[in-house]
Amino acid sequence: KINESPNTNNKYEKKISNLPQDDGWKPVGNLYKYQGFWYGPSLLQNVISAQESFTPQPSDIVLCSSPKSGTAWLKALAFSIVSRNQVNDSTNPLLKKLPHEIVPFLEIELAQDSNNRNLEIPFVATHIPYDSLPKPIIDSECKIIYICRDPKDVLISHWNFDQQVSGIGSESFPLEEALEQYCKGIYPFGPYWDHVLGFWKASLEFPEKVLFIKYEDLKTDGPFHVKRMAKFLGHPFSMEEEEEGDPEKVVNMCSFENLSRLEVNKNGKYYLPDLPTFVNKSFFRKGKAGDWKNYLTDGKAAKFNQIMAEKFSGSGLV
């Protein structure tokens, strides 16, 4: 199972064992509800540890998402935007490294040591929900970008990914069951709607601090949203750069078609402490908007849409 780890850190064990539990997301096993969201035990220890000790660098940019919403894509885009004057299309580290190796996760690599990273790269990423983020991130000048995606595609992507990583096949964890868990909000970092709403509301309240972008918008007009991100991050594209087509170059470098064909992303592996080894290609499945249509009937999709519409109602987000 995905979250089982031989080096469990006993410090938080008692606290965690008293939390509400559910074992319906089979690839992970027992999940625990902490501050309104569900986590596997070792990841939760890391989240609590990060809350207690993480300190960002003042210039850090925090890239946030629910799992399977386009995290790797956001990492690639934000990194390419900010480093565009230091690297070009033949020296971009993305050609040799998985985006996750360039931008570490707060709740994985940095959970115990905020500086366990290349400090010259001003990015950290996280799946931690807005209200549970370590306080120094909120209190600092750090900018936050959040990516959200059609929850039906997130479900399909998550279900496929967790099956592959855990080795638990669809006979033991049918899509029906995953859908049911998603509708209840009980899966790692769920409920989806609360995750999205936390960042959405923060982006309305603090527009200088939190930028909210949608996976589907990036698909339909990449250059426009790349320019938006660049401006938000204080690295706007100049007129000359726009005339040279630099925003389009970033979009092309980071496109699914480009990244997924690179040797590192086809055959490389990604090692993380206390987690199973990931094959890089599992982070590049189809990269499409609307793949859910190949998995969910219209009836199931309608039920799912209705739940999301109720949860998002009145928020201005749909």
**Cis peptide bond N-terminal to 27, omega within 30:** no
- Number of shown-chain residues binding ligand A3P (CB under 6 A): 21
State CA 50 to chain mean position distance.
17
Closer CB to ligand A3P, residue 193 or residue 283? 283
Stretch touching ligand A3P by CB under 6 A, among 19-27, 130-138, 182-190, 253-261: 253-261
Closer CB to ligand A3P, residue 140 or residue 291? 291
Q: How far apart are the first and last CA of the chain?
A: 34
- Separation of alpha carbons 269 and 280, rounded Å: 5
Contacting ligand A3P within 65-94 (CB under 6 A): 65, 67-73
Torsion of CA 103, 104, 106, 112, to 10 degrees: -150
Stretch touching ligand A3P by CB under 6 A, among 63-71, 110-118, 193-201, 241-249: 63-71
Closer CB to ligand A3P, residue 16 or residue 62? 62
H helices present in 57-150, as ranges: 71-82, 99-102, 135-139
Q: Does 254 bind ligand A3P (CB under 6 A)?
A: yes
Strands 21-22 and 31-34: antiparallel
225 is catalytic: no
CB of 311 to ligand A3P, least distance (A): 20
Residue of 100, 127, 158, 225 marked catalytic: 127
Whether the Cβ atoms of residue 41 and residue 62 lie closer than 8 Å to each other: no
CB of 67 to ligand A3P, least distance (A): 6
- Separation of alpha carbons 308 and 318, rounded Å: 9
Q: Which residues bind ligand A3P (CB under 6 A)?
A: 65, 67-73, 153, 157, 160, 254-256, 259, 283-287, 291
By annotation, the residues acting in catalysis are 127
